[in-house]
Structure 1
Amino acid sequence: MQNFLALRSLRQPLRAAHEQTTMTGRFSKLLSSGAGPGGGTSLLEAQLRLFYLMLGANIIKGGIYLYDAVYNHAGKGSVRSIRLMVTSALLILLLRRFPRLAYWGIHYAVIGTILHIYYRAFNVYTGSDVVTVQCIFMVVISAFYGLGRVWGAVYTVIAAAGVVLVHYIGFRWTGLQPLPGMLSDLYVAINFLVILLSHWYFHRVLFDNLEQSASLSKRLAEVAETKSNFLSTMSHELRTPLNSVIGIAGLLIADNANAKQKEQLDVLKYSAEGLLTLINDILDINKLESGKLELESTPFSLSRLIHNIGQGMKFKADEKALAFKVSIDPRLSGKYFSGDPARLNQIMYNLVGNAIKFTEAGEVEMSAAVLDATDGGYTIRFAVRDTGIGISESQQKHIFEPFQQASVSTTRKFGGTGLGLAIVRQLVEMFGSEIHLESRPGKGTQFHFDLRLEETEPIISETQAAAAVTEELDLSRLRILLAEDNMMNIFFMQQLFRRWNISADIAENGEEVLALMEKKDFDLILMDMHMPVLDGMEATKRIRQLEDPKKASTYIIALTASVSDQIQRRVIECGMDDYLHKPFQLEELRTRLASKVV
């Protein structure tokens, strides 16, 4: 019955996950559509429009030269004019049919314009006139806007060199006749119009795309916020039922003498903790990618940490009949180091868990060896070696990427999300090191990394000191108020309190908390953060404003399934004294309660 209730309690977060995923999907669809202010203009589209403008102008200018050739020069030069118009028209038709040829078409047009510059500059009748200078400007526009900086610079230098070289080379052409005054002015005006429209158009495209980029950045920030809120919500919605599932399973295991049922309960608890690990991995990879995860620096015993990991992972190796070895350098025994033991523990758990998962027969070895010990610090090599399936050289390039495994067949056979090694790599880099991999298919794999840790003195915290005497304390005198709206968690906490001989009052929302506070005095309040009517933070603020100073200073511990930095900060800001993450260890809660026994 309890298992049925626990599974039933998972339906609500799964429905919420579906709704949140749908909303996030809408954001992604909006972004992928490429919509922006005014719809936006692609670079290729802008280049084609610029090209069409210049080719269209060429047809008009060719018509001017054709008119001049026919009426003023008895048709001399008309072939050249017709060739210009026909070539320009054909290029327009070709590019409309095959727009991807624009890059090579611009090269062709720019080279043609440069040849025209040299033809004019070395002509007896025209020389380096206004039209020649305009053509140089059009080369600059076409090359830079259409081909990029490198080709823009190359073609600009070649084009501009024409008006310089004419002073040092005596050769001249005589085939090009100058246009009469009116036609020349019209020709110059068309060139200026092309230059003007080109700059005006690309200026508009540039700033439209800048606005689109700013709008997209804003929407990406909104999506990132939505993603963060989604993960925070899912963290709460999934951790809340897991708190009762893991907690009740733990109570049943402790009370059950039936070996078979105890084995089944172990499987239930192990599966629930596996789901919790998956949730934690997803939250961690999100924190790492957003740069919100920071390493702590606290004293810890490295030898004890490695020993505990070994004890925790040995049963997994035993299930697969693998030999599991733990090797700790004797020089590390009894020494304390400053660092983040939780994250180092996470790294080693992931590496050892992977090694066991991908090893069918043989052994897995975890080791910590001192490479160097100077000036109060130790350089330590952490290594995990297995005799598993191994990883090919091509696959090694991808396995540290999020959601990637060596191959699809690996995912199908062994399961997993592919987050573990991505988290390991990023955490190791945060420690200032680098993860190394040595592997041969069918021969096994070894991961290792080197950390520089500074030796320090152990510090026994108040919580640790309280934990040492927790079992001896009688908690039955505590007056506890539990503020919780989830029925499964209420059931679990009632079972837990009965085990510790505690009689607690229950409030299902913040308003009920305040009502009970008026009637009774409490030593401690266990306050859920997310409740209907009045949430835990607002209820805490009102408690701190009560006229009775004793009631206003009641010790409040937040029970939160959310693990975001914002939630933790808000817990402290609203006036709560401490917090526990759901799911929590039973002894962790007992230690907190024991500290309030008077």
Structure 2
Amino acid sequence: MEGQCRAKGLYLKLETDPDLPPGLIGDSGRLRQVLLNLLSNAVKFTTEGGVTVTASCEPGTDGRVWLSLSVKDTGVGVSDAQVEQLFDRFTQADASTTRTFGGTGLGLAISRQLVEMMGGEISAFGTPGEGSTFWFQVPLPMADGAEDQAEGEAVRAIGAARILMADDAPANRELVSVLLGGMGLTVDTVENGAEAVEAVRQDAYDLVLMDVHMPVMDGLDATRAIRGLGGGIGRIPIIALTANVGREQVQTCLEAGMNGHLAKPIDVNQMARTLSDWLNADEARLAVG
């Protein structure tokens, strides 16, 4: 979100508790999804000042700790009476915000559902006209470091590479750009399969992340079109990145010419391992049978 903050003249701060443990066991993909939603809303509804993200933890029970993440902004703010409604589907604190800023509030309803599925809670407080703070906390067991080390080794093994992502959802494109940028990768994004085919014609990419359901041309047809280009372009690794996770759906992706499959919501560890596997594969492995 740094680029959006700079464009609006806002500051973006990150404050972390020095006592945060080195590793926790949890669904990192969904935690990132919720945090990015809160952060995106904060930037959207703030016109001056900025946004502060805070990460901290407190002792819990049964070997767990409470991981707390909050997003504080200097934007339009909310009242205590409006907070509960904000997490209902298609509800905003004031109907005028929809006309000014856009949006329906659906993201907050999904965020609440995800947090509660993880055994946590999510809420907000603030003052109209003076900003707001949205926060959530989830109970997570301590990690022994092995999983973090495995992810780190996978990321280090990737090296420098240029990735093309095709997805019609702006939030997905932004999230993946942030995640892969943090791995040291260069990411370009397009909104549909036709744009993906044209992009690989024009520029050199090391790998394509392809959504399945997109307008204009879906991911399956785009993959077939890329394979039909022949030569090195036709052998580029294409990995499905989709919510279609059924066995038959995965098989359909592979039959269309995709090399692998990643599920949404994103498992960052799995993504790192998959990218490492294909970006370091030899020419024989990349060939499409």
Within the candidate set 573, 578, 589, 2:260 is matched to 578
Task: Indicate yes or no: 2:30 matched with 1:356.
Answer: no
TM-score by length of 2: 0.62
Within the candidate set 402, 405, 420, 2:89 is matched to 402
Deviation at 1:367, TM superposition (A): 0.5
> For residues 44-443 of structure 1, what are the structure 2 equivalents within 5 Å?
313-332=1-20, 335-372=22-59, 376-443=63-130
Task: Indicate yes or no: 2:140 matched with 1:460.
Answer: no
Task: Indicate yes or no: 2:170 matched with 1:490.
Answer: no
Deviation beyond 6 Å, 4+ runs, structure 1 = 572-576, 587-591
The AA in structure 2 aligned to 1:571 is: Q
Deviation at 1:393, TM superposition (A): 3.9
Match of 2:280 in 1: 594
Moved more, 462-471 or 357-366: 462-471
SS at match of 1:382: strand
Q: What is the rounded CA distance, in whole Å, between the counterparts of 2:196 and 2:263 in structure 1?
A: 13
Match of 2:172 in 1: none
Deviation at 1:382, TM superposition (A): 1.4
Q: What is the rounded CA distance, in whole Å, between the counterparts of 1:385 and 1:421 in structure 2?
A: 15
SS at match of 1:460: helix
Map Cα deviations across residues 429-468 of structure 1 (whole Å, 9 max, x no partner).
1111111221221232122222212222224257535303
SS at match of 1:529: helix
SS at match of 1:385: strand
Match of 2:246 in 1: 566
Match of 1:219 in 2: none
Q: What is the rounded CA distance, in whole Å, between the counterparts of 2:110 and 2:96 in structure 1?
A: 22
Cα gap change, 1:356/1:490 in structure 2, threshold over 3 Å: closer, same or farther?
A: closer
Cα gap change, 1:558/1:344 in structure 2, threshold over 3 Å: closer, same or farther?
A: same
Q: What is the rounded CA distance, in whole Å, between the counterparts of 2:254 and 2:87 in structure 1?
A: 40
CA contact (8 A) 1:572 1:578 kept: no
Higher-Rg structure is 1
Q: What is the rounded CA distance, in whole Å, between the counterparts of 1:414 and 1:556 in structure 2?
A: 40
Cα gap change, 1:336/1:351 in structure 2, threshold over 3 Å: closer, same or farther?
A: same
Deviation at 1:352, TM superposition (A): 1.5
CA contact (8 A) 2:76 2:128 kept: yes
CA contact (8 A) 2:197 2:222 kept: no
SS at match of 1:380: strand
Q: What is the rounded CA distance, in whole Å, between the counterparts of 1:373 and 1:408 in structure 2?
A: 39
Segments of 5+ residues of structure 1 without an aligned counterpart are: 1-312, 472-485, 503-527, 536-554
> For residues 524-535 of structure 1, what are the structure 2 equivalents within 5 Å?
529-530=220-221
SS at match of 1:343: helix
Q: What is the rounded CA distance, in whole Å, between the counterparts of 2:5 and 2:159 in structure 1?
A: 31
CA contact (8 A) 2:66 2:138 kept: yes
SS at match of 1:409: helix
Cα gap change, 1:369/1:450 in structure 2, threshold over 3 Å: closer, same or farther?
A: same
Cα gap change, 1:463/1:590 in structure 2, threshold over 3 Å: closer, same or farther?
A: closer
Q: Counting strand residues as a fraction of each chain, which structure ranks higher? A: 2
CA contact (8 A) 2:220 2:253 kept: no
SS at match of 1:381: strand
CA contact (8 A) 2:241 2:263 kept: yes
Cα gap change, 1:452/1:409 in structure 2, threshold over 3 Å: closer, same or farther?
A: same
Q: Counting helix residues as a fraction of each chain, which structure ranks higher? A: 1
Deviation at 1:394, TM superposition (A): 4.0
Cα gap change, 1:373/1:331 in structure 2, threshold over 3 Å: closer, same or farther?
A: farther
Segments of 5+ residues of structure 2 without an aligned counterpart are: 163-192, 208-218, 226-234, 265-271, 285-289
Cα gap change, 1:352/1:454 in structure 2, threshold over 3 Å: closer, same or farther?
A: same
CA contact (8 A) 2:60 2:139 kept: no
Cα gap change, 1:530/1:337 in structure 2, threshold over 3 Å: closer, same or farther?
A: same
The AA in structure 2 aligned to 1:460 is: A
Corresponding residue pairs, total? 221
Q: What is the rounded CA distance, in whole Å, between the counterparts of 1:397 and 1:355 in structure 2?
A: 17
Map Cα deviations across residues 238-292 of structure 1 (whole Å, 9 max, x no partner).
xxxxxxxxxxxxxxxxxxxxxxxxxxxxxxxxxxxxxxxxxxxxxxxxxxxxxxx
CA contact (8 A) 1:529 1:560 kept: no
**Bigger relative contact order, structure 1 or 2, given CA contacts below 8 A and separation 6+?**
2
Deviation at 1:386, TM superposition (A): 1.9
Cα gap change, 1:492/1:392 in structure 2, threshold over 3 Å: closer, same or farther?
A: same
CA contact (8 A) 1:470 1:594 kept: no
The percentage of aligned residue pairs carrying the same residue is 34
TM-score by length of 1: 0.32
Deviation at 1:580, TM superposition (A): 5.8
